[in-house]
């Protein structure tokens, strides 16, 4: 883990390429397959003995797991949903966190026909599983640039002006406002059990108290200490405040690093997706940057957005360090947008995306 000292330099590409990000989405099934996490731990677990023995234990575990999946779906930054394409749009690995929220349509599988002979039944099940894999495989594909291309016009979503969420910029504030995403950009959190969490804390959600396990991205602390001296720092998350505020209080208890915090209620809801509309900052957008692992989050301010690779548990990750030189080069510029546009070319990727994806 990192400390306050600057880590040694590495001979790597300085800046993260959005083309690499697109490859991450295209190849995530191959690169991000992981075994399912262990059953979540909840603080309301009933340990009383039952006359039904193991059967009750299995039912209890199933109930806990179901509640845990609901918390992962709703509590943290939610899976993305395309308004016009019936496919899963999550950028996360295929685990409980990637499931769509229950208010969206689910496909009900037909009941398996019971075969008279065990061999025939087994063959039937295998065939159904294969068909299911073939059916659901396309649902795990997601092109963020296609989503951004198909967004409705901003003025069709927002009537007038959105209310400002931050106080006015003080005279002694840094020139540039740096907005940072939280989940999978600075940390990875889960109510599933994780190996060697850096922090744990309880949170009550939908009447159930969960233990949230937190993993910090490598070099996160050094990164925050460095950028807090150069920029006005805002953390902007699509997660619920009940969770994110507790986490922020642990990461920055004295508010020395992060000036402001924005949550899901500050996001712009577009077809059930929570986009980060930078207009709510009340800052000159020529002097605003947003670092986010989900490029669709800055769909309405493309040239303010800096994509960073999604992080879950890679201890060798150095993306925050790699990003620092580019951020430092923007400290005194009058307009960050043409520089960000030239560096990452997000708009070109959007324009090059086909209007329809089969």
Q: What are the residue numbers of the active site?
A: 181, 183
- What distances in angstroms separate CA 38 from CA 41, 58, 205, 337, one per listed residue? 9, 14, 20, 44
List the alpha helices (DSSP H) in the chain.
18-26, 28-31, 54-74, 118-136, 144-149, 154-157, 220-228, 241-251, 319-328, 337-344, 346-352
Q: How far apart are CA 221 and CA 5, in angstroms?
A: 10
What is the 8-class DSSP label of residue 303?
A: G
Q: How far apart are CA 180 and CA 248, in angstroms?
A: 12
Contact status, residue 297 vs residue 289, Cβ threshold 8 Å: no
What is the 8-class DSSP label of residue 6?
A: P
Q: List Cβ neighbours of 134 (8 Å cut-off, separation of 6 or more).
A: none
- Sign of the CA dihedral 267, 270, 274, 278? negative
Cβ atoms within 10 Å, residue 289: 23
> If you write DSSP's letter for every residue of 7-35 in order, what string do you get?
PPP--S-SS--HHHHHHHHHTHHHH---P
Q: How far apart are CA 238 and CA 260, in angstroms?
A: 15
Can you read off the two tokens belonging to residue 268? 């712009």
Q: How far apart are CA 160 and CA 154, in angstroms?
A: 10
């Amino acid at each position: 883990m990192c400390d306050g000292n600057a880590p040694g330099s590495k001979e790597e590409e300085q800046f993260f390429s959005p083309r690499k990000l697109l490859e991450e989405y295209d190849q995530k099934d191959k690169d991000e397959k992981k075994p399912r996490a262990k059953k979540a731990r909840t603080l309301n677990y009933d340990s009383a003995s039952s006359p039904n023995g193991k059967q009750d234990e299995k039912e209890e575990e199933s109930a806990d797991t179901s509640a845990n999946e609901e918390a992962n779906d709703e509590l943290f930054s939610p899976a993305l949903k395309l308004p016009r394409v019936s496919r899963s749009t999550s950028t996360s690995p295929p685990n409980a966190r990637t499931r769509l929220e229950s208010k969206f349509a689910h496909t009900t599988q037909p009941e398996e026909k019971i075969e008279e002979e065990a061999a025939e039944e087994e063959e039937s099940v295998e065939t159904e599983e294969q068909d299911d894999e073939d059916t659901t495989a396309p649902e795990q594909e997601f092109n963020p640039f296609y989503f951004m291309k198909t967004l409705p016009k901003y003025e069709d979503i927002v009537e007038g002006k959105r209310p400002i969420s931050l106080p006015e910029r003080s005279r002694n504030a840094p020139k540039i406002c740096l907005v940072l995403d939280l989940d999978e950009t600075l940390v990875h959190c889960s109510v599933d059990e994780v190996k060697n969490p850096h922090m744990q804390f309880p949170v009550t959600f939908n009447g159930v108290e969960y233990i949230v396990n937190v993993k910090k991205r490598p070099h996160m602390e050094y990164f925050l200490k460095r950028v807090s001296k150069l920029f006005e720092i805002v953390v902007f998350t699509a997660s619920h405040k009940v969770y994110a505020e507790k986490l922020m209080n642990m990461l920055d208890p004295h508010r020395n690093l992060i000036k402001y915090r924005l949550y899901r209620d500050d996001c712009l809801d577009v077809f059930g997706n929570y986009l980060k509309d930078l207009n709510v900052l009340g800052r000159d957008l020529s002097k605003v940057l947003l670092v986010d692992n989900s490029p669709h989050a800055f769909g309405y301010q493309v040239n303010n957005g800096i994509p960073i690779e999604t992080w879950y548990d890679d201890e060798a990750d150095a993306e925050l360090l790699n990003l620092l030189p580019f951020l430092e080069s923007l400290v005194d510029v009058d307009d960050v947008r043409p520089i960000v546009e030239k560096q990452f070319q997000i708009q070109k990727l959007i324009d090059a995306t086909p209007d329809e994806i089969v």
